[in-house]
Structure 1
């Protein structure tokens, strides 16, 4: 596919996830940085993402929103990058991709907001308890080098970067399996390039 890639983001947002994915696939793309000053609520941008949130990706006439969907879409659209699942990896790949987008994000967000789920209501939330979410992810990373198996894939960008943020900001405990995994996946040139681009955008430079 040769259609133009346009990425709508803000460097102080979950848009950093898609930026890393774009740098990993190595295809040229245009960046549109939107501020929190109302730029995300303009009619032009709401036509792209009615939620008024970033990130969003336009690929020709196709529009994709939500970080997990952007990662999965790019892995499928550019298979030469090798970031999608091989047949034997699909179960783990999709499991942990949606774990990151569902239980993990909800548990970390609720904890940051000071929302405690009483034991008698834990069946009402997808993650049950924060401790259950952490234990589940810990067990997965003690059993495997990467979330889909023995190699790096798009799920390590999406769910792995959320884990990295959790370790950085103290919202996820620094268990040995977490710190070893984060050191492994963050030691990639694509991650360093993505960070440099977003740091420059945050400082007012070109994105």
Structure 2
């Protein structure tokens, strides 16, 4: 029997990234919805993720947390989905480069800006992203080299980067650059993205 794939999430979280990736992979999975401050901080879930945050996946005995890591893991363990360039392929470099650039410098730059914080003058080099403007310029470059960030095929990197850009455009946390808008329109026009969005929207609390 194949290892069960369990997805821990909340529809108002970065779990939407992992949901999109799971729908792209196309393997059966079971969802456990957790609530902030209660089941997300309960002992049972802290045994899965000591941070008490979502998303997380459990695949058999393997637990993976952090949205970018989940995307990379699922692409590797389900290669038949074609969501990662082959090992040794030229595209493997930009695939890793831009996925983890978005997970590190871009995530930090956007979060700090939302909080109203920036580095003191002259100390920007201590930050992984330097200045917010530098991170945005590099992200613009990443999505402007072709249809997708790792060549001419959609990959797990586009799930992660697309999610970051999509949220940023919707909530106003990144600039509405033409390159970002074109890229988001392209990657969000996928059946798996639409399925994932419909599932999570249906799980949102009813007012």
- Tell me whether 1:193 sits opposite 2:195 in the alignment: yes
Which of 142, 145, 148 in structure 2 is aligned with 1:146? 148
2:36: which partner in 1?
A: 36
Cα shift at 1:128: 0.2
Do 2:98 and 2:142's aligned partners in 1 also have CA atoms closer than 8 Å?
no
Q: CA deviation at 1:51?
A: 0.6
| Equivalent residues of 2:40, 2:52 under 8 A apart | yes
CA offset at residue 160 of structure 1? 1.4
2:136 is matched with 134
Instruction: Give the TM-score, by structure 1 length.
Output: 0.96
149, 155, 160: which one pairs with 2:157? 155
Matches within 5 A, 1:1-207: 2-86=2-86, 87-203=89-205
* Unaligned segments of structure 2, at least 5 residues: none
Q: Is the helix fraction higher in 1 or 2? A: 1
Runs (4+) off by over 3 Å: none
Q: Distance in 1 between matches of 2:135 and 2:53?
A: 26
Cα drift, residue 116 of structure 1? 1.6
TM-score, structure 2 normalization = 0.96
Which segment is superposed worse, 46-55 or 135-144?
Answer: 135-144
Q: Secondary structure in 2 aligned to 1:200?
A: helix
What is the number of equivalent residue pairs in this alignment? 204
Two-structure CA RMSD over aligned residues (Å):
1.1
Partners of 2:48 and 2:147 lie apart in 1 by 37
